Chains A and B, each alone.
Chain A
Amino acid sequence: MASISLSKAEKSYIQTGLLSNPPLRADGRSSLDFRSVALETGVAPLANGSARISIGRTSNGGGTEVLAAAKLEVESVGEDGVDGGRIMCTVSCSPAAYPHISSNGLDDLQHDMSSILHQTLSHLSLHPKNLGILPNKKSWLLNLDIAVLSDSGNIYDALFMAARAALWDTKVPRTRSIEYKVKKTGSSVTTGTGKNGGSGDMDVDEDTPSGFDTRQIQNATDFELPDYWDEGEVLDGRDKWPVCVTLNLVPPVHYLDATLQEEAATPLKLLLAFSFLPSTPPDIQGMRIIGPGEIKPSYLKDLVKDGEKYARELFSSLNAKLKDEDLRRNQKARDRFEQHR
């Protein structure tokens, strides 16, 4: 495991503090307090969506820092691609973030993180509808790459928050299908036609009417980007992307947002990934128990219930922050436009 080394006295100091009433933690937080979380979206200009997040950052750095970027790539269905598009999540850890782990250990660690993230985010129930381009021909591959720049605890929550922020920020370019039509004289000419061959994005191209033909084009062969400058529309279903809370367990208590030292002193943790949609009950999108030890099912039930409460709070404040970021960036873009006019 990725924990740092800690003496027995330090471990017992942390554990006794957590078990006392009320729980006392090394930096004076209560058991449900997070450190302050800094978040910024749109940090990578070449990505379709990006975000960076840091938990517990002080004015000269430190804290858990994670950078996430989503990049879209065109795939042909049948070669690698899947009809309707797919999502690939990759986590890579900087060796500087884990100086005490060997390069093999680091590979294992980033594989663990990648698989948890990938299995949760690429699940069908979360799949965005507008990743297809041409049915059975072309689709988008969404690469979500996350880099762990430094780790001072609670890395999984940071990964999921960064992933959610980057996917929230992701814009899918608008496409228009092209087909070849044979003229009556016999020579073939390329024409662009209006109706989109994609499955989910009917609402985008009302501005390019396709004459009288309102049927879906089945024989489209390729696509083009109607507007190079337009970033496109947001990824479908961006409200659904889950957030994760890590419950660190020192039975009978649990706490959130562990620092590295606390993680080393509490081997058992429960990851819960929830997605919340308005007016529907929350879904558990992922669940992991990491570390040695065991949990009784009845205890687990209580933990899930508590976890949902924390996740909902995390979710709503993350959403508020993401909306703030959208506003800030719009404002910035407008200012820049004003300046250059």
Chain B
Amino acid sequence: MISFTSYPLQLDDESFYGSRQHHPDAAEDIDMDLDDEQELFEAGGSKNLTYPGEPLTSSHAYMRGHGTYVNDEEVIASVAGTIERVNKLVTVRAIRTRYNPEVGDLVVGRITEVQPRRWKVDANSRQDAVLMLSSVNLPGGVQRRKLESDELQMRNFFEEGDLLVAEVQAFFSDGAMSLHTRSLKYGKLRNGQLVTIPPILVRRLKSHFITLPCGVDLILGLNGYIWVSKHVKESDQEGEEGFDAEAVYSNQNDRIDELTRVAISRVTNIIRVLASHFVPLTDTLLLEAYEWAVDQEDGAKDLLQDDVGDLLVAMITTRRQ
């Protein structure tokens, strides 16, 4: 029922520096970017991670970007992260950070507030995102204009705590993002559970809606919120043009059988394990991990044990090299 473990031993200096490596995928990316540009590494040696205060390069030759500052004619990293360079612009992408939105990103968010004609949405960003009443699909047809009565019944569409999937539409002058759900793919989420990982681990994919063969749908929000739910057949999603308000803004879950629930838990745990080992997520990787986990014939909860998690990550990283 309950088991006690010890805290891991404090790392001494030697093993700390030994472990400062990237995940192989990420290391590859950086090499590709920078192999012709060894100058940037002058100060940092062969390390791929910066530390705050680390001098990167001369400010005469390069421009400072996000995550850096200039002092004494040197560009200095202000965060721990990976160096990225576009022409003469040097930026450091922090390892642990809030989500930096870009227009067109798919995000999963949670309603925090209902305001006049808009919802405030927590999307793991520095500020709450805004979802305008005019940028959601209203019941009764996609092209319907919003009415005053809609403003009065906003909580029938989304209320506090509701989860939704949306796309970043634009930015306001203060940097807050504006979302929209004007697509049948977007909208309220149900039939599943949320798992949160660092946003840097979600890579840009061709599609962020993933269906695993075990009957589980995944929505990988670029903000690090991942929705794991029961698979819904496309034909069942919505009848062609007929936009069913009942279904889209419903709070009721469908019946979910036991096997699907176990599969959802297993996928969630795999995502947690991968995130705790700092492995970036992709659909193929998840699939491999899921097959491995099923082969082990353990329960879903066993994945959360440290040794099983280590095995899983070791399997994935070796297979991908």
**A interface residues, Cβ below 8 angstroms from B:** 5-10, 12-14, 16-17, 20, 24-30, 32-40, 52, 54, 58-60, 62, 256, 261, 310, 313-314, 317-318, 320-321, 328
Contacts and interface: CB of A to CB of B under 8 A. Distances in A.
Interface in B262-318: 262, 265-266, 268-269, 272-273, 275-278, 299-301, 303-306, 309
A28 B269 contact: yes
A231 B199 CA distance: 48
Nearest to B273: A58
B169 interface: no
Nearest to A5: B161
A38 B294 CA distance: 27
A5 B190 contact: no
Given A9-B252, A9-B253, A313 B268 contact: no
- Size class of B's contact patch? 35 or more
Contacts of A9: 162-163, 188-191, 251-253
Nearest to B2: A34
Nearest to A8: B251
A28 B304 CA distance: 9
Interface SS majority for chain B: mixed
Contacts of A261: 193-194
B300 A5 contact: no
Contacts of B120: none
B110 interface: yes
A261 B299 CA distance: 21
Interface SS majority for chain A: mixed
A28 B253 contact: no
Contacts of A13: 190-193, 253, 256
Interface stretch (B3-11, B61-69, B232-240): B3-11
B299 A16 contact: no
Contact of B276 (A14, A27, A60): A60
B163 A10 contact: yes
B151 interface: no
A313 B265 CA distance: 26
A58 B310 CA distance: 11
A317 B6 contact: no
Which of B7, B277, B309 has the largest count of A CB atoms less than 10 A from its CB? B7
B4 A317 contact: yes
Contacts of B189: 7, 9
Contacts of B8: 59
B265 A27 contact: yes
9 contacts: A7-B251, A9-B190, A13-B253, A13-B256, A16-B256, A26-B265, A28-B300, A36-B4, A317-B4
A27 B3 contact: no
Which of A5, A37, A314 has the largest count of B CB atoms less than 10 A from its CB? A5
Contacts of A29: 301
B102 interface: no
Contacts of B188: 7, 9
B3 A37 contact: yes
A7 B1 contact: no
B298 to A, nearest CB: 9
A52 B5 CA distance: 12
A24 B265 contact: yes
A83 B189 CA distance: 61
Interface string B222-260: 000000000000000000000000000001110010100
A105 B258 CA distance: 39
B25 interface: no
Contacts of B277: 59-60
A314 B256 CA distance: 33
Given A24-B258, A261-B193, A37 B4 contact: yes
Contacts of B278: 60
Contacts of A24: 258, 261-262, 265
Contacts of A6: 161
A24 B6 CA distance: 28
B160 interface: yes
A37 B4 CA distance: 5
A28 B256 CA distance: 15
Interface string B182-221: 0000001111111000000000000000000000000000
Given A34-B2, A314-B2, A317-B4, A7 B161 contact: yes
A20 B259 CA distance: 12
Nearest to B196: A62
A32 B1 contact: yes
B272 A58 contact: yes
B112 interface: yes
A237 B38 CA distance: 66
Given A28-B266, A28-B299, A34-B2, A10 B304 contact: no
Given A27-B269, A27-B304, A317-B4, A7 B253 contact: no
Contacts of A33: 1-2, 301
A60 B110 CA distance: 25
A40 B163 contact: no
A321 B2 CA distance: 11
A39 B6 contact: yes
Nearest to B305: A36
Contacts of A20: 258, 261
A246 to B, nearest CB: 13
Contacts of A59: 8, 276-277, 306, 309
A39 B80 CA distance: 29
B258 A36 contact: no
A333 B188 CA distance: 58
Nearest to A310: B1
A289 to B, nearest CB: 23
Contacts of A313: 1-2
A14 B253 CA distance: 11
Contacts of A35: 304
A16 B6 contact: no
